[in-house]
């Protein structure tokens, strides 16, 4: 097995650091890292798994702990499997391909339990067995790719280039090649040129490879992040389970003749594209959330469906170029089914959906609630939530834009009714302490906490245990071959 991880780290080291030789990786730690013990010191290691024997490059060393990266593998763990992707070890998207999926689930279950025990002081028996994914490849409905004028070279490629220079020292200097793919972890100005990605169904790969080939043939410039120059910057591909396909390409500046040439060729080659958009981004950063995508072809959005028990046609959701939606549709259905089950709705409850995004969780639970109140910071998401509720014929849901802490005041609860059930789905940072205090004040009989970060969830659960007892905890894996994990907690008022 070729270790591109070690190869990448070797070619990016800029200074001499201490090397620890023949170190056995002992256990899994958290967040995709494993650990070893050397002379009584714990070393957290990226890019290795329990059972590997490696030489470690120390990147940080404190009194009681250190961080390191493998630069040479003496032996591989017996549990390892061959990664299925040619870009494994360079691309940071699927770092656990070398682990069997069942072992990935074991480590994720353990991480949830450890965070809850150490941070939240919650006993592991509350944690139900993790719900894994039926599909561990081609599961994402959204991918974002980067156009870069500098392709990332592997160690072998750099060595081959140096050899060519030695053979022909008077030859013309080699210019960097452009790339269309993903950013290299910790290397902001280069991208990996991705040939085949296993995260999204076709024609995702075919579209990306066609755009690369066509644009280079036409001589279109790729973005230079250092110089802030270049035409092609990023591309978002959304492919829904309904079969609809959205492409949104971001340009550094507008050039209508080139844009028309590119888009007409793309639509001719891929007539299955439902909608094609472009965004002009003259800024230094790549974010498009303060920009306005323009429609070149189609209706400007795609439609996704979440199937739900008791509703044969499922729920439909409008997804625009800037909309947030769970990127693994099939696993989102399982996550929301757990959430609805934990809510124990009977049809008479007032349900508050905090950090509601485009309203997907509240709408999914709508058949069991008398009234739904959703709150979300992003105004565009609230606009989508209203449209999604209307699309699904849900007239008993209301959505409000604003900071959850500022919106959820005593007067707001008095106006819309005190909650019988609160569902909260905060970002990775977890809930603000002020919101936790407000939840403790209003004393909703039931809280369902959906989290994408079990560490911050454990912290918040510890605070909530002042008045709430934990009824159940359910991990759900939405991102196979990564260390990311979702966890749902059911809490009842004491």
Distance CA 483, CA 452 (A): 11
> 294: helix, coil or strand?
strand
Same domain, 287 and 334: no
In a domain, 469, yes or no: yes
Structure tokens at 429: 């940072």
Does residue 337 fall inside a structural domain?
yes
Cα distance between residue 471 and residue 463, in whole Å: 15
Are 377 and 291 part of one and the same domain?
no
- The DSSP bridge partners found for residue 66 are 43, 61
* Per-residue pLDDT tens over the stretch 162-202: 677 677 766 655 677 999 999 887 788 899 999 999 999 99
pLDDT for res 227: 94
What is the per-residue burial (b if ≥16 Cβ within 10 Å, else e) of 470-481?
Answer: bebbbbbbbbbb
Cβ-contact 220, 257 below 8 angstroms = no
Number of other CB atoms surrounding residue 175 within 10 Å: 8
| DSSP label of 367 | G
Question: How far, in Å, CA of 299 to CA of 275, rounded?
Answer: 6
DSSP letter (8 states) at residue 488:
E
Phi then psi for 356, rounded to 5 degrees?
-75, -15
Q: What is the C-alpha separation between 204 and 210, in angstroms, rounded?
A: 10
In a domain, 108, yes or no: no
* Shared-domain flag, residues 386 and 254: no
Angle between helices 155-167 and 4-12 in degrees, nearest 10 = 60
Residue with tokens 């906490």: 449
Check whether residue 286 and residue 335 sit in a common domain.
no
Instruction: Using a cut of 0.85, tell me whether the model's pTM lies above it.
Output: yes
Per DSSP, 445 falls in state S
> In terms of domains, do 283 and 390 share one?
no
33-38 vs 19-24, strand pairing mode = unpaired
Q: Is residue 207 part of a domain?
A: yes
Structurally, the chain folds into a number of domains equal to 3
User: Is 435 part of any domain?
Assistant: yes
In a domain, 313, yes or no: no
Q: How does strand 421-424 pair with strand 349-354?
A: parallel
ω before 140 within 30° of 0 (cis)? Answer: no
Contact, 244 vs 303, CB < 8 A? yes
Let me know the angle formed at the C-alpha of 416 by 413 and 419, rounded to the nearest 5 degrees: 60
Q: Is residue 260 part of a domain?
A: yes
**Which one of 303, 337, 359 terminates a domain?**
303
Domain identity same for 338 and 452: yes
Q: In angstroms, rounded to a whole number, what is the distance separating the alpha carbons of residues 7 and 265?
A: 38
201 and 347 both lie in a single domain: no
Sign, Cα dihedral of 303, 310, 328, 381: positive
7: CATH: 2.40.50.140
Domain residues for 423? 126-136+328-493
The residue with tokens 């003496």 is 74
Angle separating helix axes 101-118 and 454-464, nearest 10 degrees? 30
Which stretches of the chain score pLDDT less than 50? 1-2, 6-15
Cβ-Cβ contacts under 8 Å for 348 (sequence gap 6 or more): 370, 420
Local structure of 395: helix, strand or coil: coil
Q: What residues does 486 pair with on adjacent strands?
A: 476
Q: Answer for the pair 233, 251: CB distance below 8 angstroms, yes or no.
A: yes
Residues recorded for the chain: 494
271 and 390 housed in the same domain: no
Q: In the chain, helix, strand, coil percent, each to 5?
A: 30, 30, 40
Give the separation between CA 174 and CA 243, rounded to whole angstroms. 43
Residue 299 has what pLDDT?
96
Is there a contact between 485 and 108 (Cβ–Cβ < 8 Å)?
yes
The alpha carbon torsion through 96, 319, 196, 54 (nearest 10 deg) reads -20
Q: Which two tokens stand for residue 282?
A: 């003259």
What pLDDT is recorded for position 399?
96
Out of 3, 94, 365, 452, pick the active-site residue: 452
Q: Choose among 139, 126, 133: nearest CA to 105.
A: 133
**333 shares a domain with 289:** no
Q: What is the pLDDT of residues 58-89, one digit of tens each?
A: 988 888 899 998 999 999 999 999 999 988 88
Query: CATH no. for residue 192?
Result: 2.40.50.1070
Cβ 306 vs Cβ 317: under 8 Å: yes
483: Cα separation from own chain's centroid: 11
Q: According to the model, what pLDDT value does residue 387 have?
A: 95
Output the six-digit token pair for 370. Answer: 């008398």
Q: 111: alpha, beta or left, given left = phi > 0 and alpha = psi -120 to 50?
A: alpha
Same domain, 352 and 298: no
What is the end-to-end Cα distance of the chain in Å, rounded?
54
Same domain, 338 and 401: yes
Closest CA to 477 of 448, 452, 447: 452
What CATH number is associated with residue 361?
Answer: 3.40.50.150
User: In terms of C-beta density within 10 A (0-12 exposed, 13-18 middle, 19 or more buried), how is residue 268 classed?
Assistant: exposed
Residues 157 and 231 in one domain: yes
DSSP-derived 3-state class of residue 475: strand
User: Is 91 a catalytic site residue?
Assistant: no
- Whether 212 maps to a domain, the answer reads yes
Residue with tokens 């949104």: 248
């Amino acid at each position: 097995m070729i270790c591109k991880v070690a190869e990448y780290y070797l070619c990016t080291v800029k200074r001499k650091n201490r090397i620890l030789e023949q170190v056995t990786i002992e256990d899994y730690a958290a967040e995709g890292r494993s650990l070893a013990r050397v002379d009584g010191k714990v070393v957290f290691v990226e890019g290795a798994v329990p059972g590997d024997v490696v030489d470690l490059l120390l990147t940080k060393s404190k009194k009681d702990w250190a961080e390191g990266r493998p630069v040479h593998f003496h032996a591989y763990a017996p549990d390892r499997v061959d990664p299925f992707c040619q870009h494994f070890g360079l691309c940071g998207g699927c770092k656990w391909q070398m682990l069997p999926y069942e072992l990935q689930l074991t480590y994720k279950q353990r991480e949830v339990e450890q965070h809850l025990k150490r941070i939240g002081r919650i006993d592991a028996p509350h944690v139900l067995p993790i719900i894994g994914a039926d599909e561990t490849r081609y599961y994402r409905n959204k991918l974002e790719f980067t156009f870069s004028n500098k392709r990332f070279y592997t160690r072998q490629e750099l060595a081959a280039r140096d050899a060519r220079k030695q053979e022909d020292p008077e030859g013309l200097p080699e210019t960097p090649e452009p790339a269309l793919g993903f950013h290299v972890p910790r290397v902001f100005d280069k991208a990996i040129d991705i040939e085949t990605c296993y995260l999204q169904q076709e024609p995702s790969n075919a579209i990306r490879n066609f755009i690369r080939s066509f644009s280079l043939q036409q001589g279109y410039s790729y973005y230079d992040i250092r110089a802030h120059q270049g035409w092609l910057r990023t591309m978002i591909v959304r492919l829904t389970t309904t079969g609809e396909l959205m492409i949104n390409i971001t340009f550094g500046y507008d050039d209508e003749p080139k844009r028309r040439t590119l888009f007409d060729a793309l639509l001719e080659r891929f007539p299955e594209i439902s909608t094609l958009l472009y965004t002009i981004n003259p800024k230094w950063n790549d974010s498009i959330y303060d920009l306005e995508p323009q429609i070149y072809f189609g209706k400007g959005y795609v439609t996704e469906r979440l199937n739900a028990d008791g509703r044969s046609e499922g729920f439909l959701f409008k997804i625009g170029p800037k909309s947030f939606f769970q990127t693994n549709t099939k696993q989102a259905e399982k996550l929301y089914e757990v959430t609805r089950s934990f809510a124990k709705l009977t049809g008479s409850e007032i349900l508050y959906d905090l950090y509601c995004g485009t309203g997907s969780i509240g709408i999914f639970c709508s058949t069991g609630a008398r009234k739904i109140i959703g709150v979300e910071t992003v105004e565009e998401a609230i606009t989508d939530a209203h449209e999604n509720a209307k699309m699904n014929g849900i007239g008993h849901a209301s959505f409000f834009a604003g900071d959850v802490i500022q919106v959820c005041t005593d007067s707001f609860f008095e106006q819309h009714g005190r909650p019988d059930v609160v569902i909260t789905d905060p970002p990775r940072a977890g809930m603000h302490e002020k919101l936790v205090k407000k939840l403790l004040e209003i004393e909703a009989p039931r809280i369902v906490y959906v989290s994408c970060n079990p560490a911050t969830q454990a912290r918040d659960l510890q605070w909530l245990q002042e008045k709430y007892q934990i009824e159940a905890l359910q991990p759900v894996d939405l991102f196979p071959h990564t260390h990311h994990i979702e966890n749902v907690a059911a809490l009842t008022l004491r």
